[in-house]
Structure 1
């Protein structure tokens, strides 16, 4: 009897422990836990906090059953499928463990209905899926996204094991890379939607053949990250949007609208949420040249988070929402009923950077949307190792969160390889249960079609589509219901019943619900029948959302009727709705001349005075548009936008038109400056008026950046005096002016300044011109710091000028040859033990005995140390400001660290400092360029245009353009550009303590 009671009590305790419902420790008690205790599974729920008191979070699965979940899906049986990333970047880093069998696809199942996984099945394991970034379960088929391939696995006997493996797409770039191919989602139209970050430069079919758009243009002509759609078998691939940085996971709602997140360059607070307009350009790189957002341009945005996306450029779709710093990951549109109403029909999203899961309630706003932020699950205040990588809706309407669980995120680094968690969120008291589905009858499938889980909907949709007319009656009942989203799901299938397409599209376009009319337009685009009659009817719809969809639907239609419809749409533009304006621009792709000519014919002279018409001129790419742009640019007060628009015009007469704005040289200096900034260099140099007016333009320029841009653009060697004066007096642009001066005119002015009797001027000149890391300058610095006739201060200044990739290499050779004067040797030592050259740094540390403190110990032990933030700030200013900014101070070379404490845990910060090469942020990889003249250049590639490669060199704030024709080779460095500084143990502890204080306010 006693044994029975004891066994029952033990059973209850085990069940209680397995369910792991949230019973969070108080802040005081949680703070008493050691870091090791916080990492343990039994405190997993204590480290995260729910923002909604009506919800409950439970732990569904954790290590050792599974680890490092990169992506997740849930099938119709309620089983959770996980892509593990144990081998993430590990083969590239021999210090990390590596499983030679490869990573796993796991199926985790709750067989005893206690809310916790108790069974784990390895569906597939292999090195070909190491760190896969996407999984989609479609019945007995499973799509796994793992660059360079997308695989289709089939479980032919339903035993939970992959029996067949095929390749759907191949030759994808981004192997073991976060910016690679991501997950596939099943859409309401029966198609698959997927995306890839900006490593995915193009898409090739299973045979390696590059795919093209409907006009035959290769996918590689589209810039940066992309969104795609295809049939379930991988055929009929379309490109739906482009020019993202790292768009992580596209989510599609019942009406066919797309939503996703996108990651900024680290530290620029530009993470964004996008409503993805079909075929839109989302502005990460310059549309025409591919130039980086950091390169100066006319009319650029005042704030970096906005500038990051070229939002002032014609042809860029606006952002739905910008969320600041982060590392955004998985996303869904939650169309379930279980969660409270405020989450229903809204986007739910994971952002691993700030350790948070959010929803973004949206409202229609003209042709677009506006949104707010609603936090759901937050680990930032307690456990910064909480790294939500994906969110998925289960068949019962609850949501599951995959937690990568790691001290850091992104940058290709991993600090923990053995942990990972899966959480379930549901209303309090709602236990996990999986409904029973009938996929054999039309009625059962219609019921399943309404489920919130995509795997369930896939099975229902596929069966209903195969039944055709046999499913019509059951679908009509849903079509006649009051639920708009369920009606839309029914419409997608009713409209694909052979012979009934027109009937249901007609019913839908006459519907009072604008979202149903919207769905009808999207459906009509996928059918072979001519849809121009219904598009013409809906072109005058009162809803801007409907007119937006009409615009997409006439894209690439060449009939005169399409141009007439576009004119109707354009006449309904109100002059304020940027979403609508960009929809018109997207619609006119490849036929601006036909569409815009029709509009202008009707508009007459209205384009000169009407705000909406002027916006359309600004956005237009028609051949003759340069004449209208010139008139507006000259007459409008707010003319910068029109000058910027010239950069998007391809008419060969552009230079002549721009020069014609100068009235023979009587235009204002502002107009003349802007004209000369936008001329084509080659054709301009052949024009007599250009040669006559350029000196006048340069003398009249008021903005120093404009002056430097023009001198550099036109290689004006006669500006030596002004460049030198600017180098010596402008604290912000002096180094850039010095660099241009040396490039155009050599060292004469620099040498002259060092002969000045005023030593303060001499030191200033050395400080400015010495930053130009080129051999002639370096050779002259050597002659100065070894000249014992000069003062100690001057010689020291000259030695400090030896910071720089090329200079440091030369300095090392001098030190080894004993050709550096003892007087300046202490500074030389400091430079060499902190050099960017890892090989030189290692040898210099041995020579000078300046190795890092050998007692540093394990990172986890370091993390237990107590630091002093003010002392750490001093360390930061000594070593880090040469490449990083905090609150505007320092050099903008590496990632901005203003909010680094919100992104990286203490452990991750130690790892980033001690082992920088293990976690190089994307976009900050170092490259070595070898030029035809024998010189080498080290830095980060900001952008590649048709003619130039733009490099930000070490220690520099401004990019330098190198002609492709002058480049012999470009090789990516294996190691980080960040040097390992010879810090002592307490210095590192203090530095990390300071960095932890840099958090989002």
Structure 2
């Protein structure tokens, strides 16, 4: 009887846990605890198991586990290590040894079937970026031989990243940043007709970042275990570092933002994305990023504000309470924050409830794995920072049990329909055109998208006449998007004729925006000139609706009407820009997770921006008007260029002012030459003058010396207790640091932002960066050497390019100073090994002055944090 009772209790317990895991009533634990400076939900326990930096084993950025309880980790710039956690009495012992193989630099590791796969990200001449596997060649249980599966062109912070096993265990998926080229032999689920697809000219990043990169951006691919057959899965991300499958066997990524774009209408925050087959997520360089609502890209399912996404991990096998098993764990490197995203099916995709799981300062999270014991193991490090391996377990009172979770019934019907269409991405069939057409106007966005991708994988001849049929408006829009990408100009004009006959204003908001984007894309892809009669019809269609619709519709209409040179919009738009100055609703994008209170680096920029918010809507109008040549009078031009001066008084990301000036420059090109100086002066009169950072700066007293890392560290150790914050601030300026670096929102932007340097770097690391600036150069700040036919070399960073020339900024201290590289005289280009930051800038400082400078930097510009 006792055994029966226990069995019934056990069955009841299993049923409880099963219901608990599938219930939508669970909530995250609100009460928190702080252990060794790391805050996490009550009941969870965290411990640091190992510090590889202390053992001169580098800074670990990737981790995998095998089926014997061993871990494999890789230094970002060095070797791969094998380790095992054991017990010695009550004490944890972490045994680590280096793999004796000629491979490392792996930002992705995967152990499967007794083989270790490494996705290598290398700028070392001895080993090329690519996919490798390490095998046990003689059966002695040790991995000892490296096989090259595929080499790749791409490296650095936006190079090859992580690798994960497919849910069926029969293949693997890899993710790559937007500076990694898709090999010419890699094809698959994404129709290869991507383009920049911006109707108006794109303004590239004034800092030069990613200016040479074009569509399709970052990408995901699938391959077999011999790396023979690669399939392209998704494109259009910026720099997704990691991917993961959830309990429904759906693929997700955690994509990065471009923090320099804060305050701009094209800014996109870090976001969790559902990576469905054939998807393009719309990353384009500079101002060209697609709007989330564009139907020719997919949006994120959750925006998280600002940060630097790294690891992504599914919680299925964790011995955590039910709520924490069900979702994904999102790692943010910048803010030392790990988020938990509970995913709830919504149609064929998902909603995400994002909460903070743990955080610490400094805690530069890189990657993680679920251990055989059900604990969460994660790494910190990257960029040569001090590195650590941590373990998180649950020891609280809530029940937990790791269960093998099957795909949920919620949303399964819609997911199955989407997957049925996705089969046609790899096995196109003209017989399925009726199925595809039926779902081009499905209420579910991901299904609509998948249907159009299925159509685009078919030969154009099979479906080119479908738009001539009596289709619902939404179907006509889907067909028009596909025709824009695959048809010729005659087909595009035919599609425009059909669209202009639709009563588009009767559509709901999202479908209006789809309609406008279809017209936009047809115009963008036109290779010849638009027929005059079609020009008039589009103007007649859109002009009456301009500024009588939603903000999103109005901004998109302004772009098309400016492209068509519709003179009537000049006065209307300026009136709107001058009267509708409210920034209501624009701040929500930036306060996610109370980011301004938690981050010293982004936080100050965000805080300044929220206090002096630019109007992103009016920046969009101003950019569109910069293309418009017709309809201007003297008074309207004066009003327009005064607006630039007002905009320059606002705050945003590091390139905010430079972008505003770049838009103004575009506008000036359409102004009669004799008026350009006058209008430029109007802007300057209206603008707040840039602060003179060198005003009242006192020069160092000296005597200086030729500092080595050891001498600098010694000087700091002797004098830091007497550090003078104000003198440190003065030395930050006198040593010209402020010309290129900002601290607390003050300073230049051609070098890394330094507000958080004290929470990430030791005195020794800072000394190394000052004394030997060429030792490690960040991708974003690395110059290139342009070797010319005459033997000369131009060194700089690309900021613009046209068919004939490459414009490069040649001085970090004066970013406006540029040189033109003629392509017809260019012999070769290679990355410069010399930092744009000169060595010896601090050699004029005496020991106390150098100490004051370092103390100021360590404080992040906050006097209360000066170490005494």
Q: Who is 2:375 aligned against? A: 398
Deviations 1:187-237, CA, capped at 9 Å, x for gaps: 225442111123312336xxxx67687766799973432222234433442
Q: Who is 2:407 aligned against? A: 485
Q: Who is 1:333 aligned against? A: 314
CA shift in 2, pair 1:65/1:173, >3 Å: closer
SS in 1 for 2:233: strand
Q: 2:101 aligns with which of 125, 131, 147?
A: 125
User: How far is 1:548 from its partner?
Assistant: 4.9
Deviations 1:517-539, CA, capped at 9 Å, x for gaps: 55555467556776556656666
Q: 2:246 aligns with which of 237, 240, 253?
A: 253
Q: Who is 2:669 aligned against? A: 713
CA shift in 2, pair 1:877/1:221, >3 Å: closer
Deviations 1:785-820, CA, capped at 9 Å, x for gaps: xxxxxxxxxxxxxxx99xxxxxxxxxxxxxxxxxxx
1:954 aligned onto 2:855? no
1:387 aligned onto 2:364? yes
Q: 2:153 aligns with which of 151, 156, 172?
A: 172
The 8 Å contact of residues 275 and 369 in structure 1, kept in 2 or not, is answered as no
- Output the CA distance in 2 between the equivalents of 1:677 and 1:158: 68
1:977 aligned onto 2:833? no
Q: Who is 1:590 aligned against? A: 486
- Output the CA distance in 2 between the equivalents of 1:162 and 1:647: 61
1:78 aligned onto 2:69? yes
User: How far is 1:151 from its partner?
Assistant: 0.9
1:14-413 equivalence runs, <5 A:
47-63=36-52, 64=55, 68-85=59-76, 87-88=77-78, 103-108=79-84, 110=86, 116=92, 120=96, 123-126=99-102, 129-147=103-121, 148-156=129-137, 158-162=139-143, 164-174=145-155, 177-188=156-167, 190-203=170-183, 222-265=215-258, 272-278=270-276, 279-286=278-285, 292-293=286-287, 317-323=298-304, 326-336=307-317, 338-363=319-344, 371-380=352-361, 384=362, 386-404=363-381, 409-410=382-383
- Output the CA distance in 2 between the equivalents of 1:117 and 1:202: 43
Report which of the two structures shows the higher radius of gyration computed on alpha carbons.
Answer: 1
- Output the CA distance in 2 between the equivalents of 1:235 and 1:152: 13
The 8 Å contact of residues 46 and 393 in structure 2, kept in 1 or not, is answered as yes
Q: Who is 2:200 aligned against? A: none
User: How far is 1:354 from its partner?
Assistant: 2.5
SS in 1 for 2:513: helix
1:773-812 equivalence runs, <5 A:
none
SS in 1 for 2:272: strand
Q: State TM-score, norm by structure 2.
A: 0.66
Q: 1:606 aligns with which of 488, 503, 519?
A: 503
1:632-647 equivalence runs, <5 A:
634-635=543-544, 636-637=546-547
User: How far is 1:612 from its partner?
Assistant: 4.0
The 8 Å contact of residues 267 and 900 in structure 1, kept in 2 or not, is answered as no
SS in 1 for 2:848: helix
Q: Who is 2:713 aligned against? A: 859
- Output the CA distance in 1 between the equivalents of 2:703 and 2:756: 35
1:621-700 equivalence runs, <5 A:
621-623=521-523, 630-631=539-540, 634-635=543-544, 636-637=546-547, 658-659=564-565, 661-662=566-567, 677-678=626-627
- Output the CA distance in 2 between the equivalents of 1:648 and 1:600: 20
User: How far is 1:375 from its partner?
Assistant: 3.2
- Output the CA distance in 2 between the equivalents of 1:925 and 1:727: 33
SS in 2 for 1:622: helix
Q: Who is 1:760 aligned against? A: none
Q: Who is 1:615 aligned against? A: 513
- Output the CA distance in 2 between the equivalents of 1:569 and 1:123: 62
The 8 Å contact of residues 617 and 628 in structure 1, kept in 2 or not, is answered as no
The 8 Å contact of residues 70 and 131 in structure 1, kept in 2 or not, is answered as no
CA shift in 2, pair 1:543/1:726, >3 Å: closer
- Output the CA distance in 1 between the equivalents of 2:365 and 2:311: 8
- Output the CA distance in 1 between the equivalents of 2:179 and 2:663: 36
CA shift in 2, pair 1:118/1:875, >3 Å: closer
The 8 Å contact of residues 891 and 956 in structure 1, kept in 2 or not, is answered as no
- Output the CA distance in 2 between the equivalents of 1:118 and 1:666: 71
SS in 1 for 2:728: helix
The 8 Å contact of residues 726 and 733 in structure 1, kept in 2 or not, is answered as no
Q: Who is 2:611 aligned against? A: none
User: How far is 1:73 from its partner?
Assistant: 0.8
Q: Who is 1:816 aligned against? A: none
User: How far is 1:426 from its partner?
Assistant: 2.3
Q: 1:428 aligns with which of 379, 395, 401?
A: 395
How many equivalent pairs are there?
Answer: 709
1:726-737 equivalence runs, <5 A:
726=682, 729=685, 731=687
Higher relative contact order, chain-length normalized (CA < 8 Å, sep 6+):
2
User: How far is 1:248 from its partner?
Assistant: 0.8
Q: Who is 2:24 aligned against? A: none
CA shift in 2, pair 1:913/1:963, >3 Å: closer
SS in 1 for 2:781: coil
User: How far is 1:61 from its partner?
Assistant: 4.9
CA shift in 2, pair 1:696/1:861, >3 Å: closer
User: How far is 1:144 from its partner?
Assistant: 0.9
User: How far is 1:604 from its partner?
Assistant: 3.6
SS in 1 for 2:626: helix
The 8 Å contact of residues 673 and 706 in structure 1, kept in 2 or not, is answered as no
- Output the CA distance in 1 between the equivalents of 2:251 and 2:317: 17
- Output the CA distance in 2 between the equivalents of 1:362 and 1:243: 23
- Output the CA distance in 2 between the equivalents of 1:342 and 1:173: 39
User: How far is 1:674 from its partner?
Assistant: 7.2
CA shift in 2, pair 1:669/1:423, >3 Å: closer
Q: State TM-score, norm by structure 1.
A: 0.58
CA shift in 2, pair 1:332/1:426, >3 Å: same
1:466-481 equivalence runs, <5 A:
none
SS in 2 for 1:916: coil
- Output the CA distance in 2 between the equivalents of 1:517 and 1:883: 53
SS in 2 for 1:994: helix
CA shift in 2, pair 1:723/1:612, >3 Å: closer
The 8 Å contact of residues 464 and 483 in structure 2, kept in 1 or not, is answered as no
Q: Who is 2:797 aligned against? A: 940
Structure 2: gaps (5+ residues): 1-32, 122-128, 196-212, 263-267, 524-529, 577-620, 645-660
Q: Who is 2:474 aligned against? A: 571
CA shift in 2, pair 1:532/1:667, >3 Å: closer
- Output the CA distance in 1 between the equivalents of 2:131 and 2:766: 34
The 8 Å contact of residues 712 and 767 in structure 2, kept in 1 or not, is answered as no
The 8 Å contact of residues 177 and 237 in structure 2, kept in 1 or not, is answered as yes
User: How far is 1:167 from its partner?
Assistant: 1.9
CA shift in 2, pair 1:521/1:999, >3 Å: farther
The root-mean-square deviation of aligned C-alpha atoms, in Å, is 5.5
Q: Who is 1:916 aligned against? A: 773
- Output the CA distance in 2 between the equivalents of 1:237 and 1:919: 33
Bigger helix share = 1
The 8 Å contact of residues 863 and 907 in structure 1, kept in 2 or not, is answered as no
